[in-house]
């Protein structure tokens, strides 16, 4: 997973995809996660993720924190660009 080239797009690839498509892909993936979790009850979050010691709650929280971190990076970048 972490060495999957789809997780490490080059700037040229990102530019070719375009900002609007990237945003739509992000929103779509978030909605897919919401829709999936909506079919589960809270006990599902306590189940262990296969081949790891983590449960699904830990992974879901990690995904949310990861996205928040990058949104913060984007906010700082936009702020800096507006100052120049």
Considering its fold, how many domains does the chain have in total?
A: 2
Containing structural domain, residue 10: 1-39
From first to last of the 84 residues of the chain, give the pLDDT tens digit.
677 887 888 889 989 999 899 889 989 999 999 999 999 999 999 999 998 899 999 999 999 999 899 889 989 998 998 987
CA distances from 61 to 9, 14, 36, 56, 57 (A): 24, 26, 15, 8, 6
* 60/24 same-domain check: no
| 23 vs 26: CA distance, rounded Å | 5
* 48/84 same-domain check: yes
* 67/81 same-domain check: yes
* 59/83 same-domain check: yes
């Amino acid at each position: 997973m972490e060495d999957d080239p789809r997780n490490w797009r080059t700037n040229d690839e990102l530019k070719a995809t375009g900002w609007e498509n990237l945003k739509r892909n992000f929103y779509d993936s978030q909605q897919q996660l919401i829709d999936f979790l909506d079919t589960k009850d809270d006990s599902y979050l306590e189940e262990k993720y296969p081949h790891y010691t983590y449960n699904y709650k830990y992974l879901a929280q990690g995904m949310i924190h990861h996205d928040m971190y990058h949104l913060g990076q984007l906010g700082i970048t936009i702020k800096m660009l507006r100052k120049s």
